[in-house]
């Protein structure tokens, strides 16, 4: 197992020339590790498949709606967002923005440092924003899976779903348009403008196009998440309400 | 004993059958190990040499490879399930019951297909996180990151379309909730903002093939789940792996 490619070279010489990355032959080093991973995953999968049965409920009956009707876990985050937003946002706009936002990451991240290592120090900003997104995503999933019962009401995981629960308000206050619209526009304008003033370097290194795209997605993410406390604390239903759409 | 074994392999690798399959000798010399990678169809996806850095389990946690492996498990168990499953309202649920009670290892097969699917969604998400946290999406790997995001979407769609097939209450209502969203699409959904299409021609109708979930929906989801989406995923995976190589192999510190 010692077929290091540059083994003949004396150690000192190697440190003078720009260090070439050390390489090993794919066979056996990589292939064996892949094989071990394959065996371990197979083992786990076989054991799980023997002890846990895939769910199968009664035959589909269009006239009998179960309560609650939960989506598969990976979509429960979106389903939870339905509490706070109309379906066109929770079910259409948020997924689309997430997909476009993810694809935009490599093009707006101008920081070329921190490649190839798990490194927080050299890319704090990207690290923090992405982590907030992932944690929020899984937070919503866990909340939706374990803390929601019949009628999507709040039930603790150990509580029986037979307990009667008071209906939680889906928000009572609808902000009038002359408050809601300026508030939302103000949120985006301030959110984009303040960093230009106070974090000029950040703005300059990104360049204006990347900066505005980045900020749009970040502000939207915090905006979507921000409506959750708005609902719980101020009981706000819509920030903007028009006959055609509401946010 | 060891000598005997050696003589045996020596003889084996020189038989015509062996050398017609493996075009190189026993992989115990550097030359033969290189040839093993070059000559083997399965292995030629790999580079000849890998940076020691990229070999560490702590670096990739094998998540991309495990995603691929789970996809292969899904393909194999999926094909086997297709022998027993008919995508019609009349038979679908009955075939599930048969798989559970009448088919030898049917329950095991279905369990495996189900848990590997959940596992794959999880490993693909985690793989995305590992790629992000190692900065592996930065130039020249931007495009491969985007291919990856498309693969994530495909993985979710594959899982979701498969969810309807058992035709039980869980399946029916989860998909009702899911496809209802399409009604809310701006412009193109019958109940969305600025809707211009009727319930008979909006996005939701095209997903379901009918106004409500019906046999048409079952057939659509079946075809998507068993043919269209897997083909798309295989195609994108091909590009994904090819690009990993073309972008300079697995990322590492400069
Ligand atoms: C079906 C889903 C997927 C499969 C089977 C897959 C498979 C792989 C494999 C086998 C590798 C080699 C290195 C490793 O194992 O980590 C890899 C690398 C990579 N993947 Fe994926 N992947 C998938 C989804 C994704 C997703 C969702 C993303 C990102 C959004 C992504 C982005 C990348 C990138 C950028 C690399 C290069 C990483 C590097 O050079 O360090 N992939 N993928």
Residue B49 CA to residue B55 CA, distance in Å, equals 10
Residue B212 has pLDDT above 90, yes or no: yes
Of B53, B128, B176, the CB nearest to A116: B53
Contact check, Cβ <8 Å, B253/A244? no
Contact check, Cβ <8 Å, B43/A62? no
Q: What one-character DSSP code corresponds to residue B184?
A: G
Q: CB-based contacts of B190: which residues, under 8 Å, 6+ apart? A: B183, B197, B198, B199, B202, B204, B205
Whether residue A58 lies within 8 A of chain B, CB to CB, comes out as yes
Is residue B253 a part of any domain in this protein? no
Half-sphere exposure of A125 (CA within 13 A, CB side): 16
Q: What percent of chain A has pLDDT over 70?
A: 91
The predicted structure's pLDDT at residue A20: 65
The predicted structure's pLDDT at residue A19: 62
The reply to whether B84 and B25 lie within a common domain is: no
Burial category of A197 from C-beta neighbours within 10 Å (exposed 0-12, middle 13-18, buried 19 and up):
exposed
The reply to whether B19 and B73 lie within a common domain is: no
CA dihedral A225, A229, A231, A232 (to 10 degrees): 140
Residue B243 has pLDDT above 80, yes or no: yes
Is residue A196 a part of any domain in this protein? yes
Domain boundaries, position A160? 73-238
Number of independent structural domains in chain B: 2
When the pLDDT of each residue in chain A is averaged and rounded to a whole number, the result is 89
Closest ligand 1 atom number to CA of residue B63 = 15
Q: CB-based contacts of B124: which residues, under 8 Å, 6+ apart? A: B63, B67, B151, B152, B155
Burial category of B97 from C-beta neighbours within 10 Å (exposed 0-12, middle 13-18, buried 19 and up):
middle
A149-158, B37-46, B94-103: which has the highest mean pLDDT? B94-103
Tell me what percent of chain A is helix, strand and coil, each rounded to the nearest 5. Answer: 60, 5, 35
The predicted structure's pLDDT at residue B26: 85
Domain boundaries, position B73? 53-246
CB B154 near ligand 1, within 6 Å: no
Whether residue B168 lies within 8 A of chain A, CB to CB, comes out as yes
Contact check, Cβ <8 Å, B135/A117? yes
Residue B23 CA to residue B166 CA, distance in Å, equals 46
Is residue B254 a part of any domain in this protein? no
Q: ipTM higher than 0.90?
A: yes
Is residue A145 a part of any domain in this protein? yes
pLDDT tens-digit map of A80-112:
999 999 999 999 999 999 999 999 999 999 999
Is residue A164 a part of any domain in this protein? yes
Q: Where are the alpha helices (DSSP H) in A23-111?
A: 31-51, 73-81, 87, 94-108
pLDDT tens-digit map of B141-186:
999 999 999 999 999 999 999 999 999 999 999 999 999 999 999 9
Is residue A127 a part of any domain in this protein? yes
Band of the pLDDT at A10, cuts 50, 70, 90?
Answer: very low
The predicted structure's pLDDT at residue A171: 81
Residue B148 CA to residue B68 CA, distance in Å, equals 12
CA of A232 to the centre of ligand 1 (A): 39
Residue B88 has pLDDT above 90, yes or no: yes
The reply to whether B215 and B160 lie within a common domain is: yes
Residue A224 CA: distances (Å) to CA of A83, A201, A230: 12, 27, 10
Residue B110 has pLDDT above 90, yes or no: yes
Residue A85 CA to residue A220 CA, distance in Å, equals 13
The predicted structure's pLDDT at residue A5: 46
Whether residue B103 lies within 8 A of chain A, CB to CB, comes out as no
The predicted structure's pLDDT at residue A17: 57
Tokens linked to A72: 């598969």
Report the interhelical angle of B215-223 vs B169-180 (nearest 10°).
Answer: 80
Q: Whose CA is nearest to atom 11 of ligand 1?
A: B64
pLDDT tens-digit map of A219-231:
999 999 999 999 9
Cα radius of gyration rounded to whole Å, chain A: 26
Is residue B251 a part of any domain in this protein? no
Strand positions, DSSP E, chain A: 23-25, 173-174, 236-238
Band of the pLDDT at A166, cuts 50, 70, 90?
Answer: confident
Residue A7 has pLDDT above 80, yes or no: no
pLDDT tens-digit map of B58-73:
899 999 999 999 999 9
Residues 134-193 of A with CB under 8 A from B: 134
Tokens linked to B134: 């190692």
Residue B49 has pLDDT above 80, yes or no: yes
Is residue A52 a part of any domain in this protein? no
C-beta neighbour count of B112 within 10 angstroms: 24
Residue A233 CA: distances (Å) to CA of A139, A204, A220, B99, B195: 19, 37, 20, 50, 33
The reply to whether B29 and B63 lie within a common domain is: no
**C-beta separation of A137 from A73 below 8 A:** no
Pocket test for ligand 1, best of B127, B133, B152, B239 (most atoms within 8 A of CB): B127
C-beta neighbour count of A136 within 10 angstroms: 16
Whether residue A28 lies within 8 A of chain B, CB to CB, comes out as yes
The reply to whether B80 and B11 lie within a common domain is: no
| Domain CATH code at residue B106 | 1.20.810.10
The reply to whether B19 and B77 lie within a common domain is: no
The reply to whether B33 and B64 lie within a common domain is: no
Is residue B62 a part of any domain in this protein? yes
Mean pLDDT score, B72-93: 97
The reply to whether B14 and B119 lie within a common domain is: no
Is residue A204 a part of any domain in this protein? yes
Q: CB-based contacts of B191: which residues, under 8 Å, 6+ apart? A: A87, B183, B184
Is residue B90 a part of any domain in this protein? yes
**C-beta separation of B138 from A112 below 8 A:** yes
Residue A152 CA to residue A163 CA, distance in Å, equals 14
**Could you please report the per-residue DSSP string of B159-179?**
HHHHHHTT-BHHHHHHHHHHH
Number of independent structural domains in chain A: 1
Is residue A184 a part of any domain in this protein? yes
pLDDT tens-digit map of A35-71:
999 999 999 999 999 999 999 999 999 999 998 889 9
- Angle formed at CA A232 by CA A194 and CA A239, multiple of 5 degrees: 55
The SS3 of residue A175 is: coil
Mean pLDDT score, A125-135: 97
Residue B1 CA: distances (Å) to CA of A228, B9, B12: 72, 13, 16
Tokens linked to A158: 């150990």
Name the more confident of B67 and B10: B67
The reply to whether B23 and B104 lie within a common domain is: no
The predicted structure's pLDDT at residue A11: 47
The reply to whether B113 and B227 lie within a common domain is: yes
**C-beta separation of B50 from B249 below 8 A:** yes
Band of the pLDDT at A18, cuts 50, 70, 90?
Answer: low
The reply to whether B201 and B112 lie within a common domain is: yes
Residue A196 has pLDDT above 60, yes or no: yes
Is residue A153 a part of any domain in this protein? yes
Residue A15 has pLDDT above 70, yes or no: no
């Amino acid at each position: 197992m010692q077929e290091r490619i540059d083994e003949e070279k004396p150690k000192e010489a190697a440190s003078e020339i720009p260090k070439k990355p050390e390489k090993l032959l794919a066979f056996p080093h990589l292939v064996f590790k892949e094989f071990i991973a394959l065996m371990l995953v197979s083992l786990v999968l076989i054991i799980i498949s023997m002890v846990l049965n895939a769910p199968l409920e009664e035959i589909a009956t269009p006239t009998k709606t179960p309560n609650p009707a939960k989506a598969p876990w990976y979509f429960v985050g979106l389903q939870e967002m339905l509490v706070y937003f109309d379906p066109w946002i929770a079910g259409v706009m948020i997924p689309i923005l997430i997909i476009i936002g993810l694809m935009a990451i490599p093009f707006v991240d101008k920081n070329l440092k921190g490649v190839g290592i798990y490194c927080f120090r050299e890319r704090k900003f990207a690290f923090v924003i992405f982590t907030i997104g992932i944690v929020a995503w899984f937070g919503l999933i866990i909340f939706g899976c374990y803390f929601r019962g019949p009628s999507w009401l709040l039930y603790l995981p150990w509580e029986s779903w037979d307990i009667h629960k008071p209906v939680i308000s889906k928000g009572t206050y609808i902000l009038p348009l002359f408050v809601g619209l300026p508030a939302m526009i103000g949120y985006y304008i301030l959110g984009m403008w303040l960093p230009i003033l106070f974090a000029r370097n950040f703005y300059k290194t990104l360049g204006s196009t990347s900066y505005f795209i980045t900020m749009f997605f970040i502000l939207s993410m915090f905006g979507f998440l921000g409506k959750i406390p708005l609902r719980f604390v101020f009981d706000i239903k819509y920030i903007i309400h028009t006959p055609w759409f509401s946010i | 004993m060891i000598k005997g074994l050696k003589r045996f392999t020596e003889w084996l690798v020189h038989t015509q059958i062996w050398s017609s399959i493996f075009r190189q000798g026993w992989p115990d010399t550097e030359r033969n190990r290189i040839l093993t990678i070059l000559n083997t169809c399965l292995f030629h996806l790999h580079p000849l040499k890998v940076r020691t850095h990229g070999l560490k389990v702590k670096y990739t946690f094998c998540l991309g490879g495990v995603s691929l492996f789970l996809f292969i498990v899904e393909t194999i168990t999926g094909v086997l399930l297709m022998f027993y499953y008919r995508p019609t309202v009349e038979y679908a649920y009955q075939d599930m019951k048969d798989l559970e009670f009448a088919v030898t290892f049917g329950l095991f097969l279905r369990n495996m297909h189900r848990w590997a699917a959940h596992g794959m969604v999880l490993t693909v998400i985690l793989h995305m996180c590992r790629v992000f946290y190692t900065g592996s999406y930065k130039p020249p790997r931007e495009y491969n990151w985007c291919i990856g995001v498309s693969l994530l979407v495909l993985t979710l769609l594959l899982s979701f379309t498969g969810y309807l097939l058992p035709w039980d209450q869980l399946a029916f209502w989860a998909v009702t909730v899911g496809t209802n969203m399409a009604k809310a699409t701006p412009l193109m959904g019958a109940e969305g903002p600025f809707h211009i299409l009727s319930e008979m021609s909006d996005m939701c109708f095209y997903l379901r093939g009918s106004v409500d979930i019906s046999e048409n929906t079952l057939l659509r989801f079946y075809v998507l789940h068993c043919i269209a989406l897997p083909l798309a995923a295989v195609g994108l995976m091909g590009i994904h792996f090819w690009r990993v190589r073309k972008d300079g192999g697995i990322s590492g510190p400069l």
